[in-house]
Amino acid sequence: MIRTLLLSALVAGALSCGVPSYPPGMSRMYGGEEARPNSWPWQVSLQYSSNGQWYHTCGGSLIANNWVLTAAHCISSSRTYRVVLGQHNLYTAESGSLAVSVSKTVVHQDWNSDQVSKGYDIALLKLANPVSLTDKIQLACLPPAGTILPNNYPCYVTGWGNLQTNRAVPDDLQQGRLLVVDYATCSSPRSWGSTVKTNMICAGGDGVICTCNGDSGGPLNCQAADGRWEVHGIGSLTSVLGCNYYYMPSIFTRVSNYNDWINSVRTRPALSPRALPCLPGLGSAMPTWRLRTPSFLLRARWEPLGEGCRPWQLLGPPWVPKISVWVKLSEKEHRGWPCPKRLNTAQAC
197: number of Cβ within 10 Å: 16
Write down the pLDDT at residue 268.
83
Q: Say if residue 264's pLDDT is above 90.
A: yes
Question: Which one is catalytic: 21, 45, 216, 250?
Answer: 216
Q: Say if residue 102's pLDDT is above 70.
A: yes
Q: Known catalytic residue: 121?
A: yes
Q: What's the pTM value of the predicted model, to 2 decimals?
A: 0.73
The torsion angles phi and psi of 289, rounded to 5 degrees, stand at -100, 135
The DSSP string of 127-189 is ESSPPPP-SSS-PPBPPPTT--PPTT-EEEEEESS-SSTTPPPPSB-EEEEEEEE-HHHHTST
Write down the pLDDT at residue 38.
96
**Strand-pair partners of 64:** 67
Residue 8's pLDDT band, with cuts at 50, 70 and 90, is: very low
Domain ranges of the chain: 33-267
**Mean pLDDT score across all residues of the chain:** 77
Superfamily of domain 33-267: Trypsin-like serine proteases (2.40.10.10)
**Strand-pair partners of 237:** 251
Question: Which one is catalytic: 121, 135, 215, 250?
Answer: 121
Question: Which one is catalytic: 56, 73, 88, 232?
Answer: 73
Q: Known catalytic residue: 21?
A: no
DSSP code for 268: P
pLDDT in tens, 196-205: 999 999 998 7
Q: Say if residue 291's pLDDT is above 70.
A: no
Write down the pLDDT at residue 25.
86
DSSP code for 103: E
Q: Known catalytic residue: 73?
A: yes
